[in-house]
Amino acid sequence: MALSSLDVAIVAIYAVSIFALAQWVSRERGSHQKDAQDYFLASRALPWWAIGTSLIAANISAEQIIGMSGSGYVIGLGIASYEWMAAITLIIVGKYFLPIFLKNRIYTMPEFLEKRYSPRVRTVLAIFWLGVYVFVNLTSILWLGATAVHTVAGLDVQTAMIALALFAGLYALYGGLKAVALTDVVQVTLLVLGGIVISYLALDRISGGGGVVAGFTELLHRFPGKFNMILRADNPNYKDLPGLSVLLGGMWVMNVSYWGFNQYIIQRALAAKDVREAQSGIVLAAFLKLLMPLIIVLPGIAAVALAPNLARPDEAYPHLMAMLPTGVLGLVFAALLAAIVASMGSKINSIATIFTMDVYRPLRPATSAQGLVRVGRLTAMVALVIAVLVARPLLGSFDQAFQYIQEFTGVFTPGITVIFLLGMFWKRATATSALVAAIGSAVLSFALKLLWPSLPFMDRIGLVFVTCLALAVATSLAARPSSDALRVDLTGIDYSTSGGFKLATVAVTAILVALYAAFW
C-alpha cells in the first residue's frame, strides 16, 4: 500500500488543523495562567457535546478499531456486545454514579477512594492505575496505531510509534483536558465518517458493486455463524464470549468498572459544570456506542470475505484500507490517526492527573497550582517515552490485542468494581475491606486461571466479583462500625433525571432489545 500525494496532503491538513485547533481552544485570555482545575478538569466547564464526543474519543482508538476488527474477523458480531452493552452501562453511570462524584467535586477516582476509605487505598489504586494506563492502554494504542501506520504508509513501526507519541504530546501537553475534549468533536466526526466509508466500500465490493444492502445480505448468507451475538458452547470462540454469561455475568462487571470508575473515561464527566450537563453528554455517548459496531466490527467481518487468509486477525482493518481509492484512503487514514491521537491524548492527560494529584501533591502539598501543571506535563512526557520503549516487547507477539487487553484488565476489574460500589452505596464498608477486595481480585484471578484454565475469562470475572464482594462485606461486618474517616458526602444525593434522559433510556433499551433479538 502506498499513499498518493493527495492522500498525504489530506493527512497533513488534518495534522496541522487539529494541532492548531488544540492550541486555539486552550489559549488563556489576558494574564491568566493555567491552574490545576484548568489543566486537569477544563475549568469544570465542558459542554455536553464535548463530554459525549470526548468519551467516545477516549474509548475508541487503535486497540478498538484494529483490535476489535481483528476480533470481528475471528469471532464475528458477538464481539459487538462490548459496544452495545456499554450503551446501557453509560445510562446507569449517568443516573447513579455521576451525582455522587460531582457532588463531592473530586479530581480523580483515587481521590474519591481516599475520602471514602483512607490514604492507603488511594495510593494503592493510584499506582495500580498508573501501571495499567502506561503499560497496557498507552502501549497498546501506540503499538497497534504504529502497526496500522506501517501497513498504510510503509513507515517503520518504531519510527511510527515515535512520531505518534511526539504528535500526541505536542497536541495535548499544553492545553490539558480542554484541548483534548474540545478537539475530540472533530476527531470523532472523522472517526465515524471514516468508519462508515470503509464499511460502505467493503460491502459494495462484496456485492460486486450491487450496493451495501446486497453486500450485507451476501455476507450474512455466506457467513451466518459470524452474526451470532450469543455463542453456543461448541463454538471455538466460546471461551472469549461464553454465551448468556455475556448478558448476565462478567461483562457487566467489566463495563461498570470501565465506564464508571476509569479515570480517563469519567474525567470528562467530572469536568462538567453540573450533573444535567454531564448526563446529557452521557446520553450522546450512549447513542454513539450503538453505532460503533458498524464502523469497527463490521469491517472485520467483511474482511473474512475479502481477505480470508490473513496471517494475523489484526491485519483485517489495515487490509481493507489497502483497497481504498486515492483520496478516500487519505480520509480514512486521517480518521484512524484521529482516533489514535485523541485516545492517546486522553490517556496521557489522565496519567498526568493521577500522578500529580494522587501521588505528587500528597507528598508536596505546598506546590503551587502552576507547579502542579508543570509536574503534569513532565509526567505525560515520561509516560510517552516509557510506552514507546516497552510497546514492542509487551505486545509484539499477540494476534488479537483486544482480547489481551480484556484478559489483563480482567484480573483487577472485579475488585475495583466491588470497592467503588460498596464505597458509594454502603456506608458500612471499611478501608480494610477495600484492600481485601483489591488483593483478593488479583490472587483469585490468577489462581482460577492456573487451576481452572478452561473457565472462560468472562465467567472468571463474574465468579471473582461475587467472591470479592462476599469477602469485603464479611470483612466490614467483622470490624467495629465507624464513620469518623468518611469524608464523602453520601447523603441527600439527587438521582432524579430530566425527561430527555428518561426518553433516551427507553430508546437505548428498545434498540438493544431489537438488536439482540435480530442477531440472537
Q: DSSP for 92-142?
A: HIIIIIHHHHHHTT-SSHHHHHHHHT-HHHHHHHHHHHHHHIIIIIIHHHH
Q: Cell 501501571 appears where? A: 131
End-to-end CA distance of the chain: 38
| Secondary structure class of 486 (helix, strand, coil) | coil
Would you state the cell numbers that stand for residue 235, as one nine-digit string? Answer: 463454538
Q: Cell 465468579 appears where? A: 463
Rounded to whole angstroms, how far apart are CA atoms 402 and 313? 11
- Tell me if 238 sits within 8 A of 321, measured CB to CB: no
Degrees to nearest 5, angle at CA 469 with 467 and 473: 120
Rounded to whole angstroms, how far apart are CA atoms 78 and 301? 11
Reported residue count of the chain is: 520
Q: Which residues are bridge partners to 46 per DSSP?
A: 272
Q: What's CA 325's distance to the chain center, in Å?
A: 31
The DSSP letter of residue 118 is -
Report the half-sphere exposure of 281 (CA within 13 A, side-chain side): 32
Total Cβ atoms within 10 A of residue 499: 7
pTM: 0.86
Rounded to whole angstroms, how far apart are CA atoms 106 and 118? 15
Which distant-in-sequence residues (6+ apart) come within 8 Å of 408 by Cβ? 132, 136
pLDDT tens digit at each of 520 positions of the chain? 567 888 889 888 888 887 788 777 766 665 556 666 766 666 777 889 988 988 888 788 766 787 788 889 989 899 899 899 999 999 999 999 999 998 888 888 888 998 889 888 888 889 988 988 898 888 888 887 887 788 777 788 889 899 988 888 877 666 666 667 777 788 788 888 888 888 999 999 999 888 899 999 999 999 998 998 888 888 888 888 888 888 888 889 999 998 999 887 888 888 888 899 999 999 999 999 999 998 889 999 999 999 888 888 878 888 888 888 888 888 888 888 877 887 888 788 889 889 998 889 888 888 887 888 889 889 989 999 999 998 888 776 555 555 566 677 778 899 999 999 999 999 889 999 999 999 999 999 999 989 998 888 889 999 999 999 999 999 999 988 765 556 777 778 889 899 999 999 999 999 999 999 988 8
CATH T-level fold of 5-22+36-400+496-518: Sodium/glucose cotransporter (1.20.1730)
- Tell me if 70 sits within 8 A of 401, measured CB to CB: yes
Rounded to whole angstroms, how far apart are CA atoms 459 and 86? 18
Domain spans, the chain: 5-22+36-400+496-518, 410-478
- Tell me if 285 sits within 8 A of 52, measured CB to CB: yes
Rounded to whole angstroms, how far apart are CA atoms 384 and 520? 42
Report the half-sphere exposure of 330 (CA within 13 A, side-chain side): 15
